[in-house]
Amino acid sequence: MVKWTEEERRIVREVWEKVDIDEIGEQLWARALIVYPWIERYFGTFGDIFTTTAILNNSKLAALGKIVLRGLDTAVKNMDNIKPTCASLSRLHYEKIQVDPDNFRLLAECITISMACKLKAELNPQVQATWQKFLSAVVEAMNSQYK
Amino acid sequence: MVQWSDFERATIQDIFSKINSDFVGPAALSRCLIVYPWTQRYFGSFGNLYNADAITSNPKVAAHGKVVLAGLEKAVKNMDDIKTAYKDLSVLHSEKLHVDPDNFNLLSDCLTIVVASQMGDAFTADVQAAFQKFLAVAVASLRKQYH
């Protein structure tokens, strides 16, 4: 189990409170698809994702981004139980959606970069280090049901 | 040889003309030392790196951050042949400095976050994709002379 200091818990909570889930969630998948285009393979049922404009205006992507960040919100509220919290999601991504788990890390990077754009200097080095430790724990939990 | 679209060329030129090089270089290097502490092993002669405050206010770290950014500016001026422009730098990092080339990716990540924080909403997905492609080419060029 991941060990958290009081300071780390405080930092994760405080930085997450500053995140507007709807605002960042809406553009999250657009960012991932544009920066890492091979991810398109998972979005065959999402309609038009073939141009930058289409990606940026795709309402299914926007909705999914908010779902992902709400999932992250649950992890923030369960920092001592991230693995069990994510277990069924991990199984879903492995068995049903068949996502290459490397992509969890890429999406995590997009989340951090989106936060950097909004929070700017508030995402200082110490906050970044702690936030990345938290995201690594989530990524590991998402990997946990893969065999 | 790397192919650059007009958008990518213009975006990279634009980023480097807008960022404050005196700030970005030092900020990225100190962030790297804080977020990925094992990278401190290469800076034994830099004095006090014992905590985030010491690293952020260390003048040798700041000076070296500027050197790193100047190196990237050289790549911007030689975008069509970064490999040749970086040949000596690559030999230096391999044979003299003995830097594990995986660390180039860590510094790239920190550079991306610092530039994202500086540019805010202007660091759109397209801009991020172009910037990350540029950094990937710079990193590949730095790795080229390793054997």
Tens of pLDDT along chain B (147 residues) come to 789 999 999 999 999 999 999 999 999 999 999 999 999 999 999 999 999 999 999 999 999 999 999 999 999 999 999 999 999 999 999 999 999 999 999 999 999 999 999 999 999 999 999 999 999 999 999 999 997
> Which B residues in the span 74-113 are in contact with A, Cβ-Cβ below 8 Å?
109, 112-113
Chain B nearest-CA residue for A35: B129
Residue to substitute from B113, B131, B134, interface A, most A β-carbons within 10 A: B113
Q: Could you give the maximum distance between any two Cα atoms of chain B, in Å?
A: 44
Q: Does A117 touch chain B (CB under 8 A)?
A: yes
Distance CA A86, CA B26 (A): 38
For residue B147, how far is the Cα from the chain centroid? 22
What pTM was computed for the model?
Answer: 0.91
Which pLDDT value is given to residue A122?
95
- The pLDDT of residue A1 is above 80: no
pLDDT (mean) for A127-145: 96
Please give the share of chain A, as a percent, with pLDDT higher than 70: 100
Inter-chain CB proximity A116 and B52 less than 8 Å:
no
| Number of other CB atoms surrounding residue B101 within 10 Å | 15
Inter-chain CB proximity B129 and A56 less than 8 Å:
no
Chain B nearest-CA residue for A115: B117
| Average pLDDT along chain A | 95
Chain A nearest-CA residue for B30: A125
Inter-chain CB proximity B129 and A35 less than 8 Å:
yes
pLDDT (mean) for A36-46: 93
**pLDDT tens track for A89-119:** 999 999 999 999 999 999 999 999 999 999 9
Which pLDDT value is given to residue B126?
96
Which pLDDT value is given to residue A118?
95
Inter-chain CB proximity A117 and B109 less than 8 Å:
no
Q: Does B40 touch chain A (CB under 8 A)?
A: no
- The phi, psi pair for B59, rounded to 5°, reads -65, -30
What's chain A look like in SS3? CCCCCHHHHHHHHHHHHCCCHHHHHHHHHHHHHHHCHHHHHHCCCCCCCCCHHHHHCCHHHHHHHHHHHHHHHHHHHCHHHHHHHHHHHHHHHHHHCCCCCHHHHHHHHHHHHHHHHHHHHHCCHHHHHHHHHHHHHHHHHHHCCCC
Residue to substitute from A35, A38, A39, A114, interface B, most B β-carbons within 10 A: A35
Query: A26, A67 in Cβ contact below 8 A?
Result: no
**pLDDT tens track for B93-109:** 999 999 999 999 999 99
> Cα distance from A128 to chain B (closest Cα, Å)?
7
Inter-chain CB proximity B52 and A126 less than 8 Å:
yes
Distance CA B115, CA A93 (A): 32
Q: What amino acid occupies position B129?
A: A
Q: Does A31 touch chain B (CB under 8 A)?
A: yes
Which pLDDT value is given to residue A18?
96
Which pLDDT value is given to residue A147?
83
Inter-chain CB proximity B120 and A118 less than 8 Å:
yes
Query: B143, B101 in Cβ contact below 8 A?
Result: yes
